[in-house]
Amino acid sequence: MTEFPPLKNDLILRAARGEKTDRVPVWVMRQAGRYLPEFREVRKQHDFFEICRTPELACEVTLQPLRRFELDAAIIFSDILVIPQALGKQVEMVPGKGPSFPEPLRCPEDVEQLNKNVDVCVELKYVFDAITLTRKQLDGKVPLIGFAGAPWTIMSYMIEGGPSKTLSLAKGWLYKHPAASHNLLQIITNITVKYLVEQVKAGAQMLQVFESHCEFLGEKLFDEFSFPYLNQIAKSVKSQLSSQNIAAVPMVVFPKGGHFAIKSLYDSGYEVVGVDWTVSPTKARVMAGAGVTLQGNLDPCALYSAKDDIPTLVRDMLFEFGTQKYIANLGHGIYPDVDPENMKMFVDCVHSISDEMNQRLNN
């Protein structure tokens, strides 16, 4: 493995492992994105997936928010849909619409056309190169997070062909074709495990698995078609790293909209469970138990508030979560029209208010 500069700020890694921290670490989903003018300038010149596939560009946009804000982690700029691309599906990013599959999966027979034996070291080498380059460019400032989409979320995109308000086509598969659904989910799981292992080998110091479509499932379907694969990913990634004498890294699972999933995930192999803004932090802690770290969960729309109102919103969030075994974040990704100054206020308030809270507790 590549040698990297020593880490200067391990706050988020300590929080993820449940160790004591002097203040709450903070990062934000989609922190490298369209709300930043400098990112929009890059996008004027380059297609979305061109940025993902060009390590120098992916590195640049990953670092952009670190130049503006005192964040405690960077997250590599990529997309969860590079997995379907590696499996042989064409994915386009259509302006004003989002991701689009010209040829989505329409029947179980279509699954047989996927490149199930894909070599991730070849097909997704650009991601690993971007991670290694970014880790070097960070110069130890903060840890670098890698990520992947959860199997159900990836499956639903592959069947729906793009965003959907109901996921009725994908959910229809779960009822009409349960065996084929499990087969597809296992194919996605297998490549995701390899993908995440290689991200760690490339330099990722923490991993997040996004179950972005959890809310569409409900408890019964989650238990059958999501949880087993999330569990398998966490345990297999750690097992494969161990077999190669590589230290495991903390792993985060984010079941968006899945309040019913939190209790199941407390013992699933993930050190951190992310919660969205619809879940009370107090209830999330009760459901998750004391053994895991929680991450979240300010409503992304709260950043539309007047800047002077953000400290109160942050203080309320911190009082509910507490300052230990906790990583501050939004309850989902930051929106494209948020004022970067409000983002800065959010990050700075997490640090200053949590430091103040800890000093009171220690006196």
Residues 10, 23, 30, 35: which is the catalytic one? 30
Measured CA to CA, the distance from residue 279 to residue 52 in angstroms comes to: 32
Does 67 participate in catalysis according to the annotation? no
Measured CA to CA, the distance from residue 273 to residue 261 in angstroms comes to: 10
Does 79 participate in catalysis according to the annotation? yes
145 Cβ contact list (under 8 Å, min separation 6): 27, 73, 74, 75, 76, 204, 205, 206, 207, 208
Does 304 participate in catalysis according to the annotation? no
DSSP string of 60-121, one letter each residue: HHHHHHHHHS--S-EE----TTHHHHHTT---EEETTTEEE-SS---SHHHHTTS-TT--HH
Residue type, 195: Y
Question: How far, in Å, are 101, 103, 185 from residue 111 at the CA level?
Answer: 14, 12, 10
Residues 23, 35, 53, 157: which is the catalytic one? 157
Measured CA to CA, the distance from residue 246 to residue 120 in angstroms comes to: 18
Residues 14, 17, 43, 68: which is the catalytic one? 43
The answer to whether the CB of 184 falls within 8 A of the CB of 243 is no
Select from 161, 156, 188, 189 the least CA-distant residue to 173.
156
**E runs forming strands in the chain:** 74-75, 92-94, 98-100, 144-149, 206-211, 251-255, 272-274, 293-298, 326-330
Residues 10, 72, 79, 276: which is the catalytic one? 79
Question: How far, in Å, are 41, 156, 252, 282 from residue 285 at the CA level?
Answer: 41, 29, 15, 5
Residues involved in catalysis = 30, 34, 43, 79, 157
